[in-house]
């Protein structure tokens, strides 16, 4: 089946056309027929990048007023005689949409109908910067590809299996019942993909292991996965909680917020901006939010850059310990995301001195990953440490097919 995967942001649409079916899924052999992105929607000049199997990559500059035109342009390229990979839009059998927030309503991916749409709209109050754009993309694509099912795949759904003691904050209970204040967390599709993939590399299923996944990109989160289910995860009501990130501070004493308001006269918007956009690796180092630049600065002896990297890795190491305790052990630790996949020194530091927990990196394996999925731990240790290249689009494609063929996927 050909699945069009769409990830719509405020001014962008990322897309992939993926061929998959139950047999290809079982073998993990899905084919990406075409992919690309439209950026700067609504600006005077938009930008479209497109690549397809056996076709020259394209980069087109043209105004793209709305998501509707972006999707029409994508479809015209996919069906174009010179650049396309399908003869007509009718070959697309299902459309999968990334939806950021599914609240408590959605524990799995689902075919979108009017009732589902209304519920997703209700969740927008929890993700005002994301859900409205995801919905806009859905509505635009439904106009053009109206004859096939559209499936919503939520970042939050995988973590809906957390027990109450893991997701509830110790605030007055009404904050939860009346305002939905609890931990939801994000990156669920990535944590699910990499845990499945690592288990597959061992010829097993993710249900067979206690797994700690570390998604380290611009946004960073970790998950504890036991019996195949997410039982704890580091992000919270919003993506600000947990690990140190490019520009986000992650865990801090909540009273720091009150202190800043009191001491500096900051308003909530300013504090929010400071913690979301000016903190993390950027805030501590004063150099960059980009790990590549930070590692270079460390090599040149920049002390603040070194401190930023140290805090980043130390926080991850603490969470590894915490999640092993939460699950009563750990069998697999998995690194993914731009940093997790590409920065051996970060992986090494996160696992330093954990031999007492049977976690030890093999330096040669760690330094030779180079674009592959690989095991990087010392073979003598019980815990296997993996690098797995995440692929959220393939999860969206798989879920879309499963929703169509047999109802809700796991």
Residues between 315 and 354 with contacts to ligand ADP, criterion CB under 6 A: 337-339, 342-343
Find all residues with CB under 8 Å of 297, minimum gap 6, and list them. 285, 287, 288, 305
Count of positions on this chain that bind ligand ADP (CB under 6 A): 13
- Helix ranges, 34-182 (H): 67-78, 114-123, 131-144, 164-167, 173-179
| 205, 278, 292, 372: which one binds ligand ADP (CB under 6 A) | 292
Rounded to whole angstroms, the Cα distance separating 10 from 55 reads: 29
Residues between 384 and 403 with contacts to ligand ADP, criterion CB under 6 A: none
CB of 393 to ligand ADP, least distance (A): 12
- Which range binds ligand ADP by CB under 6 A, 35-43, 53-61, 252-260, 290-298? 290-298
Residues between 123 and 152 with contacts to ligand ADP, criterion CB under 6 A: none
Q: Which of 21, 90, 113, 155 is catalytic?
A: 155
Rounded to whole angstroms, the Cα distance separating 146 from 66 reads: 18
By C-beta, is 297 or 343 nearer to ligand ADP? Answer: 343
Give the single-character DSSP code of 377: B
Q: DSSP for 274-308?
A: HHHHS-HHHHHHSS-S-HHHHHHHHHTT-HHHHHH
Number of residue whose CB is nearest ligand ADP: 338
- Which range binds ligand ADP by CB under 6 A, 104-112, 154-162, 285-293, 363-371? 285-293
* Binding status of residue 217 toward ligand ADP by CB under 6 A: yes
Asked if 144 and 87 touch (Cβ cutoff 8 Å), the reply is no
CA-wise closest residue to 330 among 373, 382, 377, 380: 382
CB of 339 to ligand ADP, least distance (A): 4
Rounded to whole angstroms, the Cα distance separating 233 from 222 reads: 6
CB of 406 to ligand ADP, least distance (A): 31
- Distance of alpha carbon 372 from its chain centroid, rounded? 19
By C-beta, is 228 or 338 nearer to ligand ADP? Answer: 338
CA dihedral 122, 125, 130, 133 (to 10 degrees): 50
* Binding status of residue 219 toward ligand ADP by CB under 6 A: yes
| 103, 137, 239, 246: which one binds ligand ADP (CB under 6 A) | 246
By C-beta, is 42 or 338 nearer to ligand ADP? Answer: 338
Greatest Cα-to-Cα distance within the chain, rounded to the nearest angstrom = 64
Rounded to whole angstroms, the Cα distance separating 259 from 165 reads: 28
CB of 409 to ligand ADP, least distance (A): 23
Tell me phi and psi for residue 36, to 5 degrees: 170, -170
- Which range binds ligand ADP by CB under 6 A, 112-120, 133-141, 158-166, 215-223? 215-223
- Which range binds ligand ADP by CB under 6 A, 47-55, 95-103, 127-135, 286-294? 286-294
CB of 289 to ligand ADP, least distance (A): 7
How many CA atoms does the CB half-sphere of 21 hold within 13 Å? 4
CA-wise closest residue to 95 among 51, 136, 142, 134: 142
By C-beta, is 102 or 217 nearer to ligand ADP? Answer: 217
Known active-site residue 155: yes
CB of 217 to ligand ADP, least distance (A): 3
Tokens for 227?
A: 């019996």
Tokens for 247?
A: 């520009």
* Binding status of residue 161 toward ligand ADP by CB under 6 A: no
* Binding status of residue 218 toward ligand ADP by CB under 6 A: yes
CB of 336 to ligand ADP, least distance (A): 8
Residue numbers annotated as active site: 155
Q: Using CB under 6 A, list all residues that contact ligand ADP.
A: 217-219, 246, 290-292, 295, 337-339, 342-343
């Amino acid at each position: 089946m050909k699945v069009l995967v769409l990830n719509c942001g405020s001014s962008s649409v990322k897309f992939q056309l993926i061929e998959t079916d139950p047999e290809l899924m079982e073998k993990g052999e899905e084919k990406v027929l075409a992919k690309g992105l439209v950026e700067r929607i609504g600006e005077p000049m938009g930008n479209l990048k497109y690549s397809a199997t056996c076709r020259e990559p394209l980069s087109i500059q043209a105004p793209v007023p709305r998501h509707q035109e972006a999707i029409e342009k994508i479809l015209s390229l996919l069906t174009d005689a010179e650049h396309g990979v399908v003869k007509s839009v009718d070959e697309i059998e299902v459309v999968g949409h990334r939806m950021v927030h599914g609240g408590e309503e959605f524990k799995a991916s689902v075919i979108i109908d009017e009732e589902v749409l209304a519920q997703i709209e209700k969740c927008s109050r929890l993700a005002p910067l994301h859900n409205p754009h995801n919905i806009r993309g859905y509505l635009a694509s439904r106009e053009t590809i109206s004859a096939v099912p559209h499936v919503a795949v939520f970042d939050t759904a995988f973590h809906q299996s957390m027990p109450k003691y893991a997701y509830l904050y110790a605030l007055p209970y009404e904050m939860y019942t009346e305002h939905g204040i609890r931990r939801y967390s994000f990156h669920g599709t990535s944590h699910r993909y990499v845990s499945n993939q690592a288990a597959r590399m061992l010829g097993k299923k993710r249900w067979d292991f206690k797994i700690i996944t570390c998604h380290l990109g611009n946004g960073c989160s970790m998950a504890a996965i036991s019996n195949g289910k997410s039982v704890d995860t580091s992000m919270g009501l919003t993506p600000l909680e947990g690990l140190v990130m490019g520009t986000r501070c992650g865990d801090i004493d909540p009273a720091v917020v009150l202190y800043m308001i009191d001491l500096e006269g900051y308003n909530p918007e300013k504090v929010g901006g400071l913690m979301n956009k000016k903190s993390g690796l950027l805030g501590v180092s004063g150099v960059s939010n980009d790990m590549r630049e930070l590692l270079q600065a460390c090599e040149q002896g920049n002390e603040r850059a070194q401190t930023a990297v140290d805090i980043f890795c130390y926080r991850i190491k603490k969470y590894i310990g915490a999640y092993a305790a939460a699950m009563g052990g750990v069998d697999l630790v998995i690194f993914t995301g731009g940093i997790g996949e590409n920065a051996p020194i970060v992986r090494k530091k996160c696992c330093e001195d954990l031999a007492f927990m049977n976690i030890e990196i093999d330096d040669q394996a760690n330094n030779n990953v180079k674009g592959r999925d690989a095991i990087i731990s010392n073979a003598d240790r019980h815990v296997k440490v993996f690098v797995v290249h995440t692929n959220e689009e393939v999860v969206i494609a798989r879920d879309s097919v499963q929703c169509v063929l047999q109802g809700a996927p796991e």
